[in-house]
Amino acid sequence: MPEIRLQDVTKIYPFVKVSGLFDRKQKTEMLKKQQSMPYLSNEGVIAVQHIDLTVRDGEFVVILGPSGAGKSTLLRIISGLERPTLGTVLFDGKDFTDVRAEDRDVSMVFQNYSLYPNQTVYQNIAFPLEVKHTPREEIEKEVYALADLLGMRPILNRYPKELSGGEKQRTSLARALIRRPSVLLLDEPFSNLDILLRRQLRKELKRIHEAYKTTFIYVTHYQTDALTLADRIVVLKDGIIQMDDTAANVYNFPASRFVADFMGTPVFNFADRIPVSKDGSFSVWGNDLKLDPGQLRKLNGDLTVDAGIRGTNIAVSGQGVPAEVTYVEQIEADLYIHLLLGGEELVAVEKIVSNDALRYYRGQKVFLTFDTDRIHLFDGAGNRI
């Protein structure tokens, strides 16, 4: 079972030769994107850059980021489908950069399940073992074991066109696992499924991970997928790692404003460019606070900070900073209380308790207390200080 290590990995997709108006527009877009990225010039689209990442044996790592962040590119580099432009891929300390995909003991599951339409679910799952000429009884044993784990026994004789989205994805998952690969790569596997099904499949995936002890690397743009599945979350944006830490730390101590915003359920409030005096004191949302000397140094003479606080760290109570309720909305089990505080908009989040959800009303005068330990501070570049 390997430890996977990416060392200073960069992938540049060369520009395609372009002509005509439409393509020129595309090319301008690409150039614009490229110019927004540091370090590199006019060779092509920089999908990921300077990636240092180690995935330990048996870990469940989630790579989280918006569309275009370079998530699929990273997975394809790990699987061997793509060669990095620069940098090294190590499996257990050995240089695997030029080892072909089929020699890596890695399986992959995609968002769009590519099942063989003329084969039953059983045959689809069994296929990787058939190719290896595994004895029939052994194949049967493995297929049934996976079918039981995924609750698929009743559908083994169906054809792909007779399956729901969830069943198709379970079939792909079983087919990827039957070879018992030492690494399973999952590229947004549940994105096409509805929310209830996603929740259920997440639970099953977690169970499979515990049963098989395989290394899982799971790519998604959903915060919830990442928080519920991951031992560790790697947040990616513009091909650069923004944060690499435990799920709890990514949620509670976001390393940058971008990460805070991306982990914004329940909602994050921000106050920008707050002036800080030379001794480090500043005031935000009616709270007088002070930077410690270390934080002050990190500002590098730029005497402003951005502040962020999650709505759940603001309590509406009988004392504190006065504010006015503008409106109230119910989101799942949470009550979002929209407020106006000295001209600034703010959202406090409370759990809904019994049926007194309507204790707040528009125009109501209330008082707020802030969990000041949970006011996150960022410098001008958006980095946590």
DSSP state of 58: T
Q: Contact between 68 and ligand ADP (CB under 6 A)?
A: yes
Only one of the segments 72-80, 88-96, 137-145, 352-360 lies at the binding site for Mg ion (rule: CB under 5 A); that segment is 72-80
Only one of the segments 62-70, 206-214, 327-335, 353-361 lies at the binding site for ligand ADP (rule: CB under 6 A); that segment is 62-70
Give the DSSP letter string of 243-312: EEEEHHHHHHS-SBHHHHHHT-SSPEEEEEEEE--TTSEEEETTEEEE--HHHHHHTTT--EEEEEEEGG
Nearest residue to 256 (alpha-carbon basis) of 277, 280, 240, 276: 240
- 135 Cβ contact list (under 8 Å, min separation 6): none
**Buried b or exposed e, range 54-66, using 16+ CB within 10 angstroms:** ebeebbbbbbbbe
Quote the least distance from Cβ 170 to ligand ADP, whole Å: 23
- Collect contacts of 169-172 with beta carbons under 8 A, ≥24 apart: 169/109, 169/113, 169/193, 169/201, 170/201, 170/204, 171/113, 171/115, 171/121, 171/124, 171/125, 172/109, 172/110, 172/113, 172/114, 172/115
Strand partners, 298: none
Quote the least distance from Cβ 82 to Mg ion, whole Å: 12
Integer Cα distance of 366 and 43 in angstroms: 57
Quote the least distance from Cβ 138 to Mg ion, whole Å: 35
Choice between 49 and 72, CB closer to Mg ion: 72
Nearest residue to 276 (alpha-carbon basis) of 289, 260, 286, 287: 289
Q: Are the beta carbons of 3 and 61 closer than 8 angstroms?
A: no
- 149 Cβ contact list (under 8 Å, min separation 6): 204, 207, 208, 211
Q: Are the beta carbons of 245 and 76 closer than 8 angstroms?
A: no
Q: Contact between 71 and ligand ADP (CB under 6 A)?
A: yes
Q: Contact between 124 and Mg ion (CB under 5 A)?
A: no
Q: Contact between 13 and ligand ADP (CB under 6 A)?
A: yes
Choice between 178 and 236, CB closer to Mg ion: 236
Choice between 157 and 224, CB closer to ligand ADP: 224
Choice between 50 and 158, CB closer to ligand ADP: 50
Q: Contact between 79 and Mg ion (CB under 5 A)?
A: no
Choice between 39 and 361, CB closer to ligand ADP: 39
In the numeric block, which tokens belong to residue 85? 């432009």
Quote the least distance from Cβ 32 to Mg ion, whole Å: 20
Q: Are the beta carbons of 255 and 384 closer than 8 angstroms?
A: yes
Integer Cα distance of 99 and 184 in angstroms: 17
Only one of the segments 71-79, 163-171, 297-305, 309-317 lies at the binding site for ligand ADP (rule: CB under 6 A); that segment is 71-79
Pick one of 36, 42, 67, 354: the residue that binds ligand ADP (CB under 6 A): 67
Q: Contact between 47 and ligand ADP (CB under 6 A)?
A: yes
Q: Contact between 37 and ligand ADP (CB under 6 A)?
A: no
Q: Contact between 72 and Mg ion (CB under 5 A)?
A: yes
Only one of the segments 69-77, 175-183, 250-258, 274-282 lies at the binding site for ligand ADP (rule: CB under 6 A); that segment is 69-77
Report the site for Mg ion in 244-273 (rule: CB under 5 A): none
Choice between 69 and 240, CB closer to ligand ADP: 69
Q: Contact between 36 and ligand ADP (CB under 6 A)?
A: no
In the numeric block, which tokens belong to residue 237? 């944006």
Quote the least distance from Cβ 38 to Mg ion, whole Å: 22
Nearest residue to 193 (alpha-carbon basis) of 208, 185, 184, 204: 204
319 binds, among ligand ADP, Mg ion, none (CB under 5 to 8 A by kind): none
Choice between 188 and 245, CB closer to ligand ADP: 188
Pick one of 5, 6, 61, 65: the residue that binds ligand ADP (CB under 6 A): 65
Choice between 73 and 79, CB closer to ligand ADP: 73
Place of tokens 């990273």: 74
Tell me which residues touch Mg ion (CB under 5 A).
72
Chain residues binding ligand ADP by CB under 6 A are 13, 45, 47, 65, 67-73
